[in-house]
Amino acid sequence: MSDSPTLKIVTGRDNRDAFLLEHDGHLLQCFGWGELKGKFGWSVERVSWEGERGASGAAQILYRRLAPALTLAYVPRGPVVTNARDLAPFLERLAQHVRGRGAFVLKLEPDWLEGDERDTLLKQARFVRTSETIQPPATIHLDLTADLETILARMKSKWRYNIRLAEKKGVTVRMGGIADFGAFYDLMRLTGERDRFAIHGADYYRTAFELLQAGDHVRLLIAEFDAKPLAMIFVTAFGREAIYLYGASGNEERNRMPNHALHWAAIRWAKERGCARYDLWGIPKAPRETAENENLPSSLYQFKQGFGGAPVRYSGAWELVFDGTKHQVYKLARRLYKRGLG
């Protein structure tokens, strides 16, 4: 009997997340993340690529209806396959599936780095790279497989000093919960105004925490001085990867280095969880030459790079267009929106 894989709709959390964990799937492909996006403007569908020997691929597809008859299909940090040879047939069937759902384009942002051999398979499947990414195209990965002393030694000396300084100056770090999200959002608004970036609504962060907490994939770490929160970070762990997803800080007592204390606490927590990597979740630009490059593009990059990780660039965003006219309308709308005309 032949083992011809077929595309199947998946409804259960446990078996699907177990497959992702076994094959190093990303947090953004997990069940809880899909539940979150489903509550904030997306429709969610989970599929697997299965034969007689079980699943060899999985994808969490997010659909966004941008206008009547204009639906985007998006797979963040996916799909996940057991072997590169499974990717081409899975992509072909996945494309057929989302096109049948009325999507004008299938957009992927894979969880592999630029130059991976699987990029060639995407090109062969007629996907085209686009500069319009949704997830951070570049980040810093911190290796957690070494012991804590080695991890500390790999940091810049000023970062080690600041970690010790935070403790000396009375900063403590504790794990927070739902009751702390009012304070978290106050700090997020302050951070967004200070650093000039858009933030989600309060309900988004609270819901994200609740849904990811159900699978024990998240912690809210709070740096305090005299029982007053100075800064907080929202850190996830899925499989062997921890991610610094959101961070917020106040304008007071910054000389006590609460952010250094928070990340050191997060690194220790992630290592205790068995994570092999800490993803600092996005930098404005990753230098292509070496991690020692001192031509830093921003203070944000400088802060994250000081923890001793390596800058990396992902494969990026890829699109398979089914309707060229609708795709042109979509791109025009994006340009107008960015210019403030939308």
pLDDT at 59 over 80: yes
Same domain for 20 and 167, yes or no, is no
Assign residue 261 the CATH number of its domain: 3.40.630.30
Higher pLDDT, 180 or 340: 180
Long-range contacts for 151-158 (Cβ within 8 Å, ≥24 apart)? Answer: 151/267, 151/271, 151/308, 154/308, 155/306, 155/307, 155/308, 156/306, 156/308, 158/306
- Separation CA 125–CA 93 (nearest Å): 11
User: pTM value?
Assistant: 0.93
Mean pLDDT computed over 187-195: 95
DSSP state of 203: H
pLDDT at 331 over 70: yes
Q: What is the mean pLDDT of the chain?
A: 93
- Separation CA 118–CA 113 (nearest Å): 10
Same domain for 200 and 289, yes or no, is yes
Local confidence band at 41 (pLDDT 50, 70, 90 cut-offs): very high
- Separation CA 339–CA 342 (nearest Å): 8
pLDDT at 289: 40
pLDDT at 340: 53
Total of domains in the chain = 2
pLDDT at 11 over 50: yes
Using DSSP's 3-state secondary structure scheme, residue 181 falls into: helix
Same domain for 173 and 288, yes or no, is yes
pLDDT at 3: 67
- Separation CA 218–CA 201 (nearest Å): 19
Same domain for 274 and 209, yes or no, is yes
Closest CA to 174 of 218, 213, 234, 222: 222
Least reliable range by pLDDT among 180-184, 232-236, 294-298, 333-337:
294-298
Local confidence band at 53 (pLDDT 50, 70, 90 cut-offs): confident
pLDDT at 1 over 50: no
Q: What is the pLDDT of residues 99-131, one digit of tens each?
A: 999 999 999 999 999 999 999 999 999 999 999
Same domain for 87 and 221, yes or no, is no
Higher pLDDT, 184 or 51: 184
Count of other CB atoms within 10 angstroms of residue 127: 21
